[in-house]
Structures are given as C-alpha cells and as structure tokens.
Amino acid sequence: MPELIETTVYTFDELDERAQERARDWYRQASAHDDWHVTVFEDFERICEILGVVLATRPVRLYGGGTCQKSCIWFSGFASQGDGACFEGSYSYRKGASRAIRAYAPRDMRLATIADQLQQIQHKNLYALEARVTHRGRYYHEHSMEISVERNSDRSQPPTANAEEGVSDALRDLARWLYRQLEQEYDHQMSNEVVQEGIIASGYTFTEAGSRFG
C-alpha cells in the first residue's frame, strides 16, 4: 500500500554554512561535464587566425545524428603533473599580426610577445617560414606537439640559425597561454560565487544536510 512521506526541503539561502558547502560540491560535480571551455576555445580560434595559425579540424558526432567539424584543440587539467593544452594545425606568416593582436587583446602582453617573436623570425627568413604542428602521445601539453619548420623558398634556402627553435618556442608559448586561460576560466566557473548563482537561478532545493532533493 502506498505511503505518503513528507520531507522538508530548503532553498540554498536557507541552509547553514556546512550544508551550503555540500550543496556547492554537488553542483560542481553535476556541472563538471558542461561545455564551460567553449568561449575560451572560440577566443583561441580567433587568436590563431590573427597570428597565422590554421587549426586542423576533426569530425565530431552530434547527439541527433550527423557530424560537425571541430578544431583540434585538447587539454587536461588542472591539478596533475603533465596537465596542459595543445593543438594541431599549420602556421605561416600573417602580415600585420603584431598590430592586430594588440588591437584584439590590448592588455595581453604574452600574446604581443608571441606575435613579435614570430614577426622577428619571419623577417630574418623573408617571411617564408611555414610550420606544421601535430600531436603525439597520450598526454596533452605543449611538449606533446611535434613541430616541423621549413622555409618555402624558390632558392631552396634553409631557415636561418635558430629559426626552427624560435617558431617552435612561440607556438608552444601559445599552447601555454591557452592552458592558462582554461585554468582561469575553470577556477572562475567553480568559484563559490558563480556556483551559488547557478544553484539559485536554477531553483534547486535541498535537504537540511545539503543533499539535492529529488
């Protein structure tokens, strides 16, 4: 025979401090698989375009069937040794990149430094350097990128001394920059303030101990 059981539920604001912390932990775990990194990826794609990096793409299956193309960007994080970010694609000279990156991100000196480094190396090589970036291994960080650099010259001239190293260092710095942006965004999304806003906006209710009800 059915039984009627009554349970008192509470909004987040009605919980005591200990129960609120348990509610926040539940929300963090529940939202851990959300696409929180999408805006960071979109920003990175635009920055790559400005710098002259063409990201490789891969087909991704959609829930409703079919596929779409997504950029080859990967990361792991954020508390283990070996965490980081990497990407696949190609790089070639993009005229005005140093000026354009400063217009796009005027306060980001790391991006400006990367653009300037690429500009200086290209200048020494008559703007003919090209690079290919592929991922190797099972880890995702800047050193899991295999980078080959060539000078596209009619005279078959080799790159100048340290050109390959300089381009590789700049592209790895770009991967480090991406990881830092992802780390900052994750910390922001998982902060108490943002988590509480999400809980309250969704209208979730909890038991007195802070367990999600229903």
Average of per-residue pLDDT across 1-22:
87
Residue 31 banded pLDDT, cuts 50, 70, 90 = confident
Q: Is residue 167 part of a domain?
A: yes
Q: Is residue 2 part of a domain?
A: no
Q: Which residues contact 67 (CB under 8 A, 6 or more apart)?
A: 59, 60, 61
Based on the structure, what is the number of domains in the chain? 1
Q: Is residue 124 part of a domain?
A: yes
Q: Is residue 212 part of a domain?
A: no
pLDDT tens-place string over residues 167-197: 999 999 999 999 999 999 999 999 999 999 9
Q: Is residue 135 part of a domain?
A: yes
CB neighbourhood size of 171 (10 A): 26
Q: Does residue 44 have a cis bond before it (omega within 30 degrees)? A: no
Would you say residue 34 has pLDDT above 70? no
Strand, coil or helix: what is 149? strand
List b or e across 16-52, with b for residues whose CB sees 16 or more CB atoms inside 10 angstroms.
Answer: eeebbebbbebbeeebeeeeebeebbeebeebbebbb
Q: Is residue 8 part of a domain?
A: no
The pLDDT, as a whole number, for residue 1 is 67
DSSP H helical ranges for the chain = 17-30, 38-51, 97-104, 109-124, 163-189, 192-202
**Which range of residues forms the domain containing residue 108?**
33-202
| % pLDDT > 90, the chain | 78
Q: Is residue 62 part of a domain?
A: yes
Tokens of 91: 């790089």
Q: Is residue 113 part of a domain?
A: yes
Apex 180 CA angle, 130 and 186, nearest 5: 130
pLDDT tens-place string over residues 82-124: 899 999 999 999 999 999 999 999 999 999 999 999 999 999 9
